Amino acid sequence: MAQQRITPEQIASYQEAFERDPQRRLAGNAVAKSPISAVALNRRVIAGTDHTFSIMLKSNPITNQNRSGRCWLFAGLNLFRVEAIKRLNVESFELSQNYLLFWDKLEKANYFLETVLSTLDEPSDGRLLMFLLQAPLQDGGQWDMFVNLVKKYGVVPKSVMPETESSASTGAMTGLMHALLRENAAELRHMHAGGAPAAALRDRKQAMIGNFYQMLCVHLGEPPRSFEWQWRDKDQAFQRAGTLTPQEFFERYVGFDLDSLVCLIHCPTADKPFDRLYTIQHLGNVAEGQIVRYLNVDMAVFKQAAVEMLKDGQPVWFGCDVGKMLERDLGILDMELFDYASVYGFSYRADKAERVEYGHSMMTHAMVFTGVDLDADDRPRKWRVENSWGDKIGDKGFLVMSDRWFDEYMYEVVVDKRFVPAALLPLLEADPTVLPPWDPMGALAAAE
């Protein structure tokens, strides 16, 4: 179809339509002095939103990922600390997000270079290589990637490996690692083009990983191989555990059965039929670790599994598109929160599938459900969300999500297999359909 220019006659008709519409002129005056979010804010939604829930788990002090994309690590460790608080018999407790960040960055550097070695004959200007080089190791990740780290490296208390400037603000460190990874990728490809044997490429890659280890020690500190652990519990009794490895600490004070938890997604696009297992090519962190696995299910199954987890007293790790229809300061996620139709004179009409297919929506953030408000018929009305943006937003850091927002912008929940319908359980053992690296369901791993 040939391109068509905007004509002066069209512009004149648009101008006339705007000038004869007093509501548009009023909206223009308001937006000239105030952010669109303030002008379109629906005060009725704010007045009708409260932070009470029929099912509500114990609140723990809110965490803060600061200027980093570690939401998935924070959300996972926020699950773990619930059990650690019970076993340690303390009022509050936090696990080291910096510790897992260190190993995630190192493993991702290795994973990327392994991917380079497996794609040596791909053209340098092809879509795959250009995609891989765009962001070799971002802060983000998926649940299965979190599991890989914990199984291999365990966990440690935050006091054992506290935050640093670079863990709280990862941009500079990640940018420098990106630059080095791209140089490394070019070197390995040049070696291959020059006829270097596979063994030489592997040896060179091993030396490259050593540079990343040194870099991470500079930025994040050296991760402990073992540590002395003692504490005073909430009854003021002194406790001493002696010397523990991170793996021993996990087994003794967290003890989650990671193999009992599975990822359900709800993605209603035509290329992903429900009741099938999916993975994403070249998405991972630990070489030879478990792959990312998603079971795509309809909304009724997806939502009920999350409700049953909360009824069972267990928080729920989830992935969503947090930036949509969010009032950050108030901590409200609601589809009616902004009345853009009254400001612009038209409504947005895309459904969930179309928003995903056309690039308007994808998973951008991981958080934890710690409550749900059920009506008299046991159906959700709203959800309580533990975030990792500090305690200055919402209800001391907790958000409230309407159930309609859940339907439209929720994409992933991690639940116990006990709450997955029995007929679907065999699908978890099937060979997954492999989606391309740029599929929107992998977007959470690209968070900055």
pLDDT tops 80 at residue 446: no
For the residues 203-219, what does the mean pLDDT come to?
98
Confidence of residue 448 (pLDDT cuts 50, 70, 90): low
φ, ψ at 379 (rounded to 5°): -105, 140
DSSP 63-129: PB--BS--HHHHHHHHHHHHHHHHHHT-S---B-HHHHHHHHHHHHHHHHHHHHHHTTTS-TTSHHH
φ, ψ at 376 (rounded to 5°): -65, -20
Question: CA separation (Å) from 341 to 44, 108, 167, 296, 366?
Answer: 15, 44, 41, 33, 30
- 114-133 confidence digits (pLDDT tens): 999 999 999 999 999 999 99
- 138-169 confidence digits (pLDDT tens): 999 999 999 999 999 999 999 999 999 999 99
d(CA 311, CA 315): 9
d(CA 343, CA 88): 53
For the residues 213-217, what does the mean pLDDT come to?
98
pLDDT tops 90 at residue 420: yes
DSSP state of 372: E
Quote the pLDDT of residue 67: 96
For the residues 393-406, what does the mean pLDDT come to?
97
Query: What positions carry a catalytic annotation?
Result: 71, 365, 387
Calculate ∠ Cα 88-89-95, nearest 5°: 45
Token representation of residue 362: 């994808």
d(CA 324, CA 289): 33
Task: Tell me what the pLDDT averaged over the chain comes to.
Answer: 97
pLDDT tops 80 at residue 9: yes
User: CA 113 from chain center: how many Å?
Assistant: 23
399: left (phi over 0), alpha (psi -120 to 50) or beta: beta
pTM score, whole prediction:
0.97
For the residues 262-269, what does the mean pLDDT come to?
98
d(CA 110, CA 10): 56
- 345-388 confidence digits (pLDDT tens): 999 999 999 999 999 999 999 999 999 999 999 999 999 999 99
Residues in the chain: 448
pLDDT tops 70 at residue 74: yes
Give percent of the chain with pLDDT exceeding 90: 99
Quote the pLDDT of residue 212: 98
Quote the pLDDT of residue 276: 98
Type of residue at 45: V
d(CA 280, CA 299): 22
Token representation of residue 74: 């924070």
Confidence of residue 63 (pLDDT cuts 50, 70, 90): very high
Classify strands 238-244 and 227-232 as parallel, antiparallel or unpaired.
antiparallel
Cβ-Cβ contacts under 8 Å for 5 (sequence gap 6 or more)? none
- 297-334 confidence digits (pLDDT tens): 999 999 999 999 999 999 999 999 999 999 999 999 99
Quote the pLDDT of residue 385: 98
DSSP state of 424: G
For the residues 221-236, what does the mean pLDDT come to?
98
Quote the pLDDT of residue 445: 84
Quote the pLDDT of residue 270: 97
What is the chain's Cα-based Rg? 24
